[in-house]
Structure 1
Amino acid sequence: MSDQRGSIGGRIASARKLRGLTQGQLAERVPCSKSLIAQVERGHKPATQALVAGVARALRVGVGELTGQPYGDESRRADRVHAAVPDIRRALLGWDLPDEEIRPRAFDALAADVERASALGRQARYGRLGEMLPGLLEELTAAVHGADHPERLYALLAEAYTGATAIAYTLGYFDLRSLAMERVDWAARASDDPLRIARTQWQRSTLFLANASYDKGGRLLARIRHELGEDVARMDAPTVSVYGAAHLRSAIFAARTPNAAGAWAHIGEAWECARLLGEDANHYGLEFGPSNVAIHEVAVAVELYDGAEAVRRAGLIRLPDTVAPVRLGHYYIDLARGFLYNGNRTKSLEALQTARRAAPQQTRNHPMVRETVRMLVDLERRRPKALSGFASWVGMP
């Protein structure tokens, strides 16, 4: 068994002992079984995102204290993303202090750049996105403060701020993520676009997910659906996308509770929305459609710790080439966990390698990737060269 001091389980044990709690006392606060805490701390079982969030809340520590994020990285290529963070932070802090020396370009030119930034986010190319965002945010800030009717410019700014939330989430800069979300909300409300505001509230729900506030997050998503209306058949395509995406996020919340029946019920509602939509779409950057619903089926099974069901449902999926790399990365990271829970270590590593090909920066910085790799390393008596290479690429000793 490997040294657990640098693992999520090792960090949970250290944080628990620092607060003078037994494994049983921590389990009561999460809540979960004492045996789960013991197995995760000893490295016998992988930590799930739900457990990490629950322990962080119970111990009153940040999620990053348990995952070790943001991860250090010796690779200059990977450091491109981290290097952009200070400039992104400064741009977010200056939301009401536009640079008077900036002369913003015309709306169409700004819209084209925002579209390019969104495309980089879909492709999970966070290095290039990080280099692009600070200047774009500064220019959009100057534009909205200098315009007589800035609503459309605020919509562009909200979309650009969303790129900052994606980078902060991927790298594990949780304070930056919260700051960026505040800016997204401010700009979305100023855009006077009800659907953009609803999409922003959907985005806000991720903060409740990360902090194990499942009841409040679920209520927020229910409110979004209620405000959009109950008659899905009468909604236009963008509204269906937002409504369906709220059901998908609700399914993850229910699975984390855990409430399997509720989770699968939300998946069923999302399928109805996808059927009405008829095809994959990307309204407001939500990537909603049949492919994303199928991807979430696997995610729900993994959240429920049901590896057999995750693998079974994955076997029914045929994802088109048009699925965004950022979604493919999440899918194969989840599938790797599903194979691990189902006892198929070879397929688990293959799924991780596929995630790497689809979205390398996302895969390299995802805490569940490291947790899966750590378990694979511990379980393999003769460590395959491919596994050693992958662990080295991720940055694990």
Structure 2
Amino acid sequence: MRDGSTNGPAAEEAVGRRIAQARKLRGLTQQQLADRVPCSKSLIAQVERGHKPATQALITAVARTLRIELGELTGQPYRDPGTREDRIHECVPQLRRALLSWDLPDEDVPPPPTEQLRADVRRASALGRQARYIQLGEMLPGLLEELTRAVHASEGARRDELFGLLSEAYTGVTAIAYTLGYFDLRGLAMDRVAWAAQASQDPLRVARTQWQRSTLFLATATYDKGLILLDRIRREVGEDLGRLTAAELSVYGAAHLRSAIFAARAADRQTAFDHIEHAREAARVLGQDANHYGLEFGPSNVIMHEVAAAVEMYDGGEAIRRAQHTALSPAVAPVRLGHHYIDLARGWLYHGNRQKALETLLAARRAAPQQTRNHPMVRETVRMLVNLERRRPRSLSGFASWLGLP
């Protein structure tokens, strides 16, 4: 567990160097590691020397192969104590305490009215969509305590609704934990999300929870199990698009988009883009970008995932082509837009256009600064740009400094 980490920027190492150290500690050659991942020895060598950025697929596969935690390779969480940016981590102990108190409500304090709790959960969800994690982290501990008191003091349909609200609030914790790299906290929060969703008696909320669970298989490079889970979700929701409600279309389409990323991580290009096309058809039937159960599904999300799938396969040219021939809705949530720009910056880097890569990272920072500063792929991209640029532009040096890179 890395929750107590106080590593400052000067202690931070590149992912490639961390991979090399972990490999050597286990007595493996580059060829032996490559055989077990599997990938080419050339890729391992280039990543370890810092000549090629590590993808998320490679990092998770190496962590699985070496039987170590993902954070040991990414260096997360990124701490810089004493700075304003480090404030985002201060909510973590309180969030942990709130999760551990799930069945121990303060029965001496009456819960707020349901109307107030609805409004507070809506506000928390809005903060999550805006990637405003500092504000979300400050809000969630108290809200979770209030919702816990409320569900234990209610019954019937009102209790079902409150459990749905509690599940949604727990999802905010998973977003913070994922962004910051507190992987044990994320696992604990996922358990709470699933428990509350099941108690809500809402089948679609349960399906959405299973979709969320699939991210744990991504993080452990367990692609076969993740694809099985996502296929089960689609079968349970139903695959006759003409008969699905808007919310069901969102769950169905989101499951296809997540499957596309699984397939791309497994280097199965045909399957990845087949899933993209199934999702595109669901988005066409849906007709617009929507946000059922926080899934952000619609035409824009399909575009962003097809770019992400190409990037996962190191195909920068395909990522750029797909991004340039489509348009995103101006209403795309900042959290999704920031992630898209992070992916697209990697696409530009793989395509050989370093200036566009930096410009796109700056766009990610404008859209979702807290998300961008804590994303390991941003750091990998910036390190590669720094290594490649003999005369670093001031904007690149400033961006690296903002990230806290040495």
1:261-314 per-residue CA deviation (whole Å, 9 max, x = no partner) reads 000000000000000000000000000000000111110110111000111111
Match in the other structure for 2:86: 79
Match in the other structure for 1:255: 264
Match in the other structure for 1:129: 136
Match in the other structure for 1:52: 59
Match in the other structure for 2:46: 39
Question: Which structure 2 residues correspond to residues 1-397 of structure 1 after superposition, within 5 A?
Answer: 6-74=13-81, 76-149=83-156, 150-397=159-406
CA distance in 1, matches of 2:265, 2:327: 26
Task: Tell whether the 8 Å contact from 2:307 to 2:344 is kept in structure 1 after alignment.
Answer: yes
Match in the other structure for 2:6: none
Unaligned runs of 5+ residues in structure 1 are: none
Task: Tell whether the 8 Å contact from 2:12 to 2:405 is kept in structure 1 after alignment.
Answer: no
CA distance in 2, matches of 1:141, 1:154: 9
CA distance in 2, matches of 1:6, 1:14: 11
1:339-372 per-residue CA deviation (whole Å, 9 max, x = no partner) reads 0000000000000000000000000000000000
CA distance in 1, matches of 2:242, 2:138: 42
> 1:76: how far off?
3.8
SS of the aligned residue for 1:279 comes to coil
Structure 1, 143-152 or 46-55: larger mean CA deviation: 143-152
1:147-179 per-residue CA deviation (whole Å, 9 max, x = no partner) reads 122111000000000000000000000000000
CA distance in 1, matches of 2:352, 2:210: 38
Structure 2 CA distance for partners of 1:75 and 1:274, relative to 1, 3 Å: farther
Match in the other structure for 2:5: none
CA distance in 2, matches of 1:73, 1:174: 19
Structure 1, 238-247 or 69-78: larger mean CA deviation: 69-78
Task: Tell whether the 8 Å contact from 2:12 to 2:75 is kept in structure 1 after alignment.
Answer: no
* TM-score normalised by the chain length of structure 1: 0.98
CA distance in 1, matches of 2:305, 2:12: 32
CA distance in 2, matches of 1:194, 1:168: 25
> 1:5: how far off?
7.7
SS of the aligned residue for 1:110 comes to helix
State the superposition RMSD in angstroms.
1.2
Task: Tell whether the 8 Å contact from 1:169 to 1:177 is kept in structure 2 after alignment.
Answer: yes
SS of the aligned residue for 2:405 comes to coil
1:70-90 per-residue CA deviation (whole Å, 9 max, x = no partner) reads 001246432222000000000
Task: Tell whether the 8 Å contact from 1:4 to 1:42 is kept in structure 2 after alignment.
Answer: no
Amino acid at match of 1:12: I
Task: Tell whether the 8 Å contact from 2:15 to 2:74 is kept in structure 1 after alignment.
Answer: yes
Structure 1, 326-335 or 19-28: larger mean CA deviation: 19-28
SS of the aligned residue for 2:196 comes to helix
* Percentage of identical aligned residues: 72
CA distance in 2, matches of 1:30, 1:209: 15
Unaligned runs of 5+ residues in structure 2 are: 1-9
SS of the aligned residue for 1:382 comes to coil
Amino acid at match of 1:124: A
CA distance in 2, matches of 1:112, 1:162: 16
Amino acid at match of 2:44: I
Number of aligned positions between the proteins? 395
SS of the aligned residue for 1:32 comes to coil
* TM-score normalised by the chain length of structure 2: 0.96
1:306-335 per-residue CA deviation (whole Å, 9 max, x = no partner) reads 000111111112222210000000000000
Amino acid at match of 2:255: A
Task: Tell whether the 8 Å contact from 1:252 to 1:263 is kept in structure 2 after alignment.
Answer: yes
CA distance in 2, matches of 1:387, 1:208: 34
CA distance in 1, matches of 2:80, 2:172: 21
Amino acid at match of 1:66: L
1:170-222 per-residue CA deviation (whole Å, 9 max, x = no partner) reads 00000000000000000000000000000000000000001000000000000
Amino acid at match of 1:346: Q
Structure 1, 213-222 or 22-31: larger mean CA deviation: 22-31
SS of the aligned residue for 2:362 comes to helix
CA distance in 1, matches of 2:195, 2:27: 41
